[in-house]
């Protein structure tokens, strides 16, 4: 038996080894050390044998305690316990709702503290808030702003804040409450609307809704941690789990939106989640911004512009969000609204380089070149972003050109070409400004930028000024080869062909021109104008140009058939059909007569569709009837063998062979049909 020596506490003898073990264990068990030391004299009896048995029992108890504490550590909470602060709900003091708001908040505070899982959350008592307000020289009944509430939550180290408003409707209290987390103060979870007759009933209902809303928080934190670690798949899975736990979850859906920005999820899917967020919280900043971005990505410009305007209206007090909304409006073509918003932000927040750049862009889009040049002058001197972005440089040069500051534009253009030697836009501006040096600069541009169509167009314009239409045609065709989607070069090329009297080539070029929404109306107007011009200058003496004129007005009507274009088609076709009938009577050719009949059918089709309310309609219809009668009378004479078109001309089918010259010339009977004026709108 080992001899005991030494003492613990009040002199109880022990051996060195036992004492060492006890002291080591006590040092490791921090929280129970004092209790063991204080209770040690009472644990050991006076007899030696009894003391040894008691000592053994004590060592066994301490060992079991160590095991229990280790096991408790293994089963610790996944997340630290959250602190919840519940502030007085806001009510109208004029209607005695302010006191009811505080009563409801007290009920929510007390009942939440009773019902919440103590391992997961702790509700701070009202005295914490009141003490902080007193220390800050605030009245405890003061209504706090969002900024003040955030400061309160920060000072109290509250992870979650519950706020609410109280109104009275139809004898009942209506409470709208929200749960806000300190780490994402701009996002909150609206709780379901509560209607109750008393403050206690309203508070109990709010507690139930609060506890339901908090069920999303654990998977929400997992979603956020997964995003921080770059694991988007886990983030999506945890966010969807949170939504299943609480179907009205807004916070979890915002985390899901962030996780879905992975480059693979379609914009329509993200838009669906954003719409679900806004259905539950119309002011949610993430939902509003992401909805605008998704609509923009889907090409829905008008809804996207409307959504960006809504983002600005809801969150214009946040500079980053306001900047994003103004830039979104600019991208969607709403330059005036974007400019108005940028001006308001500058007035409210003072000088801001980003807002000034957006204002510059808006002025440039609107064509307010003087204002754009003034802002550009200051930004060029003060803003590094403006100087290092070639798109700003191009707009600034254009503003200087439009305000006739040619020397400044030339100086800046040379500087831009040096700063950005690979930017074709800036080089194009440089070439356009250097009128005196285009003979050197233009060939250099053509060689340096072989795929840019603007330089061949510039060469075509120069060749035309020099009287070399052949070179102008060649250069314009080269520009269209580089980019066939351009519109204006088709009109220019058709004009060059008309000047060369190559009318068939001009018609063929216009038929190939793009017919986008903006370009279609321009193409239609140009075809009508040039077609009528050809018909007036050709008269009855140049059938080839006359046929080209008819082809152009027919082309205009195919782009967009309206009463005016159909009237032009009818009048022009009647004139051409008359000349073709004269030619057939001279050549005694049934084929020429068929050509006249086919052209006449164009007029018949236009008349049948409708010529509108023009006062010349009756004249056109009368001329058509005369021409139809003349063709029918000529057929038995010119088509004796039964060949050619049979039956009367009724104007309901067929198409004219426009552009085909008559076969022969001869003598014979002529038509008595009267020619029709080519301006159906004349009075």
pLDDT tens track for 552-588? 889 888 888 888 888 888 888 888 888 888 888 888 8
pLDDT mean over 468-488: 90
Cβ contact 475:457 at 8 Å: yes
Write phi, then psi, for 69 (nearest 5 degrees): -65, -40
CB within 8 A of 355, min separation 6: which ones?
323, 326, 342, 345, 346, 349
pLDDT mean over 113-138: 82
User: 617 burial class (0-12, 13-18, 19+ CB within 10 angstroms)?
Assistant: middle
Reduced to 3 states (helix: H, G, I; strand: E, B; else coil), residue 262 is: coil
State what percent of residues in the chain have pLDDT above 90.
36
pLDDT-wise least confident of 284-293, 359-368, 577-586: 577-586
Measure the CA–CA gap between 282 and 249, rounded to whole angstroms.
13
If we measure between CA atoms, which residue out of 125, 115, 111 comes closest to residue 83?
A: 125
pLDDT mean over 262-284: 93
Residue 661 confidence class, pLDDT cut points 50, 70, 90: very low
pLDDT mean over 623-641: 85
Tell me, what's the pLDDT at 557?
Answer: 87
User: 549 burial class (0-12, 13-18, 19+ CB within 10 angstroms)?
Assistant: buried
Measure the CA–CA gap between 223 and 258, rounded to whole angstroms.
10
Tell me, what's the pLDDT at 268?
Answer: 94
If we measure between CA atoms, which residue out of 507, 496, 448, 439 comes closest to residue 472?
A: 496
Tell me, what's the pLDDT at 9?
Answer: 38
Q: How many Å separate Cα 367 from the centre of its chain? A: 23
Cβ contact 7:13 at 8 Å: yes
CA distances from 421 to 17, 82, 432 (A): 85, 58, 16
Residue 645 confidence class, pLDDT cut points 50, 70, 90: very low
pLDDT mean over 16-43: 40
Measure the CA–CA gap between 529 and 552, rounded to whole angstroms.
9
Residue 212 confidence class, pLDDT cut points 50, 70, 90: very high
Q: Is the pLDDT at 672 greater than 70, yes or no?
A: no
> Pairing between strand 90-91 and 160-169?
parallel
CB within 8 A of 325, min separation 6: which ones?
292, 308, 309, 311, 312, 315, 316, 341
Tell me, what's the pLDDT at 173?
Answer: 92
Q: Which residue has the tokens 């809303």?
A: 213
Write phi, then psi, for 466 (nearest 5 degrees): -85, 0
Query: Between 677 and 436, whose confidence is greater?
Result: 436
pLDDT in tens, 132-171: 777 777 766 767 777 777 888 788 788 888 989 999 988 8
Q: Is the pLDDT at 367 greater than 90, yes or no?
A: yes
Tell me, what's the pLDDT at 167?
Answer: 92
**Summary mean pLDDT of the chain:** 81
Cβ contact 83:158 at 8 Å: yes
pLDDT mean over 63-91: 66
User: 591 burial class (0-12, 13-18, 19+ CB within 10 angstroms)?
Assistant: middle
Q: Is the pLDDT at 485 greater than 50, yes or no?
A: yes
Cβ contact 496:469 at 8 Å: yes
Cβ contact 611:566 at 8 Å: yes
Reduced to 3 states (helix: H, G, I; strand: E, B; else coil), residue 170 is: coil
If we measure between CA atoms, which residue out of 80, 226, 228 comes closest to residue 157?
A: 80
Tell me, what's the pLDDT at 55?
Answer: 55
Measure the CA–CA gap between 282 and 264, rounded to whole angstroms.
27
pLDDT mean over 369-396: 94
CA distances from 47 to 10, 40, 285, 336 (A): 15, 15, 76, 99
pLDDT mean over 174-189: 89
Which pair of structure tokens corresponds to residue 5? 């020596």
Tell me, what's the pLDDT at 666?
Answer: 33
pLDDT in tens, 216-255: 999 999 999 999 999 999 999 999 999 999 999 999 999 9
Residue 184 confidence class, pLDDT cut points 50, 70, 90: confident
pLDDT mean over 98-127: 88
Half-sphere exposure of 510 (CA within 13 A, CB side): 35
pLDDT in tens, 616-627: 888 888 888 888
Q: Is the pLDDT at 60 greater than 70, yes or no?
A: no
Cβ contact 258:227 at 8 Å: yes
In 304-390, the DSSP E strands lie at none
Half-sphere exposure of 494 (CA within 13 A, CB side): 23
If we measure between CA atoms, which residue out of 570, 567, 578, 569 comes closest to residue 682?
A: 567
> Pairing between strand 172-181 and 194-196?
antiparallel
Residue 44 confidence class, pLDDT cut points 50, 70, 90: very low
Cβ contact 522:541 at 8 Å: no
Tell me, what's the pLDDT at 154?
Answer: 82
Write phi, then psi, for 15 (nearest 5 degrees): -85, 165
Measure the CA–CA gap between 668 and 683, rounded to whole angstroms.
36
């Amino acid at each position: 038996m080992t001899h005991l020596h030494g003492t613990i506490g009040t002199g109880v003898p022990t051996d060195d080894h036992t004492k060492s073990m006890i002291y080591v264990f006590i040092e490791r068990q921090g929280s129970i050390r004092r209790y063991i030391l204080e209770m040690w004299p009472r644990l050991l009896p006076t007899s030696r044998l009894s003391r040894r048995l008691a000592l053994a029992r004590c060592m066994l108890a301490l060992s079991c305690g160590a095991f229990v504490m280790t096991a408790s550590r293994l089963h610790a909470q996944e997340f630290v316990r959250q602190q919840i602060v519940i502030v007085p709900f806001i009510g109208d003091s004029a209607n005695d709702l302010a006191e009811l708001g505080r009563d409801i908040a007290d009920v929510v505070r007390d009942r939440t503290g009773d019902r919440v899982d103590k391992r997961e959350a702790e509700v701070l008592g009202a005295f914490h808030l009141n003490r902080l307000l007193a220390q800050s020289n605030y009245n405890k009944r003061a209504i706090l702003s969002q900024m003040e509430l955030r400061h309160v939550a920060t000072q109290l180290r509250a992870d979650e804040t519950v706020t609410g408003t109280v109104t009275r409707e139809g004898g009942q209290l209506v409470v709208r409450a929200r749960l806000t987390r300190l780490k994402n103060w701009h996002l909150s979870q609206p709780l379901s609307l509560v209607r109750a007759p008393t403050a206690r009933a309203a508070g109990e209902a709010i507690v139930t809704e609060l506890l339901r809303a908090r069920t999303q928080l654990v998977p929400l934190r997992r979603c956020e941690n997964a995003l921080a670690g770059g694991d988007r798949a886990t983030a999506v899975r945890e966010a969807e789990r949170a939504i299943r736990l609480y179907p009205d979850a807004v916070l979890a859906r915002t985390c899901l939106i962030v996780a879905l920005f992975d480059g693979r999820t379609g914009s329509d899917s993200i838009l669906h989640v954003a719409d679900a967020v806004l259905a539950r919280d119309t002011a949610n900043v993430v939902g509003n911004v992401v909805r605008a971005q998704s609509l923009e990505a889907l090409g829905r410009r008008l809804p996207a512009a409307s959504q960006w305007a809504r983002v600005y209206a809801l969150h214009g007090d946040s500079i980053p969000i306001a900047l994003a909304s103004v830039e979104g409006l600019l991208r969607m073509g709403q330059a005036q609204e974007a400019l108005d918003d940028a001006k308001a932000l500058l007035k409210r927040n003072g000088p801001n380089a980003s807002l000034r750049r957006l204002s510059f862009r808006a002025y440039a889009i609107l064509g307010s070149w003087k204002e754009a040049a003034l802002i550009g002058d200051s930004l060029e001197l003060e803003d590094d972003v403006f100087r290092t972005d070639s798109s700003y440089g191009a707009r600034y040069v254009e503003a200087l050109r439009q305000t006739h500051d040619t020397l400044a534009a030339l100086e800046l253009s040379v500087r831009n070409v040096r700063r950005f030697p690979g930017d074709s836009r800036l080089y194009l501006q440089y070439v356009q400004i250097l009128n005196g040096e285009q003979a050197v600069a233009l060939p250099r541009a053509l060689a340096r930028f072989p795929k840019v169509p603007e330089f061949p167009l510039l060469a075509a314009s120069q060749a035309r000024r020099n009287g070399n239409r052949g070179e102008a045609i060649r250069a314009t065709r080269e520009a269209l080869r580089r980019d066939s989607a351009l519109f204006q070069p088709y009109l220019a090329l058709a004009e060059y062909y008309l000047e060369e009297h190559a009318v068939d080539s001009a018609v063929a070029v216009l038929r190939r021109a793009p017919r986008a929404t903006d370009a279609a109306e321009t193409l239609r107007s140009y075809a009508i104008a040039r077609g009528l011009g050809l018909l007036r200058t050709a008269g009855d003496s140049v059938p080839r140009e006359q046929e080209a004129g008819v082809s152009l007005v027919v082309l205009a009507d195919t782009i967009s058939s309206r009463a005016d274009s159909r009237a032009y088609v009818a009048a022009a076709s009647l004139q051409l059909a008359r000349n073709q009938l004269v030619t057939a009577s001279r050549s005694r050719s049934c084929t020429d007569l068929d050509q006249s009949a086919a052209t006449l059918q164009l007029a018949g089709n236009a008349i049948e569709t409708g010529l509108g309310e023009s006062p010349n309609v009756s004249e056109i219809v009368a001329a058509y009837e005369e021409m139809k009668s003349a063709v029918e009378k000529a057929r038995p004479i010119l088509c004796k063998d039964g060949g050619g078109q049979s039956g009367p001309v009724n104007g309901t089918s067929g198409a004219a062979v426009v552009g085909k010259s008559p076969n022969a010339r001869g003598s014979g009977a002529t038509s008595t049909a009267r020619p029709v004026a080519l301006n159906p709108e004349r009075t």
